[in-house]
């Protein structure tokens, strides 16, 4: 996961959702279970563009490979909770399938979700179908009391991270060289568990990039020449450009292992490039 900038509200969004929003409010006031017209799907393009076609949770490619979902960050209809007796209750991905085994939910579920956010732009993001439908579903972990209405929302303390939150992914997640991920904070752990971010299929998908970036960082810790350092830094930068799948992982590995902010990498490359003649780069890649 990496921090993203939320797209601007679509010009016709309010008018487009007005009738559906009104119908939900009327049903709730009458004590009935609301039905939600799925008009948010018409704005998938806005979020796909803002997220460069990638899932807001796992960073996997959505656009071009699957339909993807406009996900409600806070569930609109019902709320479930994971059993908190241990990591095993979070479940595991069955080999060569999207199905989950061993996922344990607390008995019962809250029949009313965050219905008043069903047609709010700030509650949407683009998600892959596996993160959304198979893992997150109606889950929304919090610390403390859950908001029962719009007035109490500001006091609620979400544990699930959104890519549109103001946060540093390197503070919440740590990625190993095999593509595995663990949460380093309560919010990081809750996000990994809720969205299945350490599932086997994702580890396999992340593995080539994770291994390469860790090996780049290993090389920087050895006695290599300035041209080799420049080559390594450029490799890390290329793997972490925002168009790449799992660029948030790349940036988190670099920041965690170097102690530097990602934005510093460009300055380092510029400074080294000014000192390393182009002809010295001809003998690279490293080891040749």
Q: Determine the pLDDT at residue 249.
A: 97
Is the pLDDT assigned to residue 287 strictly greater than 50?
no
Q: Determine the pLDDT at residue 68.
A: 93
Q: Determine the pLDDT at residue 281.
A: 52
Strand segments, DSSP code E, in 211-278 are none
Dihedral (Cα; 165, 170, 174, 177), 10-degree rounding: 120
The pLDDT confidence band at residue 284, using thresholds 50, 70 and 90, is low
Instruction: Kindly state the percentage of the chain with pLDDT values over 70.
Output: 93
Question: What tokens appear for 229 in the block?
Answer: 């350092």
The pLDDT confidence band at residue 239, using thresholds 50, 70 and 90, is very high
Question: In angstroms, how far is CA 94 from the centroid of its own chain?
Answer: 22
The pLDDT confidence band at residue 98, using thresholds 50, 70 and 90, is confident
247 and 204 Cβ atoms separated by less than 8 Å: no
Q: Which helix (H) or strand (E) holds 129?
A: helix 129-129
- The three-state secondary structure class of 43 is helix
Q: What is the mean pLDDT of residues 192-210?
A: 97
Tell me the per-residue pLDDT of 60-82, one tens digit each, with 9 for 90 and over.
Answer: 999 888 899 999 999 999 999 99
């Amino acid at each position: 996961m990496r921090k993203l900038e939320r797209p601007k509200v679509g010009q016709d969004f309010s008018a487009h959702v007005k009738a559906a929003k009104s119908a939900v409010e009327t049903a709730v006031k009458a004590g009935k279970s609301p039905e939600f017209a799925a008009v948010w799907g018409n704005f998938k393009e806005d979020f796909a563009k803002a997220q460069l076609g990638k899932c807001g949770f796992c960073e996997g490619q959505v656009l071009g490979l699957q339909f993807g979902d406009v996900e409600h960050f806070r569930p609109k209809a019902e709320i479930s909770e994971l059993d908190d007796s241990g990591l095993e209750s979070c479940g595991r991905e069955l080999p060569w399938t999207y199905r989950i085994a061993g996922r344990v939910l607390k008995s019962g579920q809250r029949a009313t979700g965050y219905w008043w956010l069903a047609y709010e732009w700030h509650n949407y993001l683009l998600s892959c179908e596996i993160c959304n439908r198979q893992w997150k579903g109606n889950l929304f972990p919090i610390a403390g009391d859950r908001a029962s209405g719009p007035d109490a929302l500001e006091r609620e303390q979400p544990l699930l991270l959104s890519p549109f939150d103001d946060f540093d992914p390197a503070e919440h997640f740590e990625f190993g060289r095999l593509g595995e991920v663990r949460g380093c904070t309560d919010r990081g752990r809750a996000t990994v568990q809720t969205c299945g971010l350490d599932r086997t299929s994702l580890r396999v998908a992340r593995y080539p990039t994770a291994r390469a970036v860790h090996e780049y960082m290993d090389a920087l810790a050895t006695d290599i020449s300035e041209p080799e350092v420049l080559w390594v830094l450029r490799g890390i930068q290329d793997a972490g450009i925002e168009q790449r799948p799992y660029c948030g992982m790349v940036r988190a590995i670099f920041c965690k292992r170097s102690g530097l902010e990602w934005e510093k990498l460009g300055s380092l490359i510029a400074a080294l490039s000014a000192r390393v003649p182009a002809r010295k780069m001809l003998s690279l890649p490293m080891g040749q």
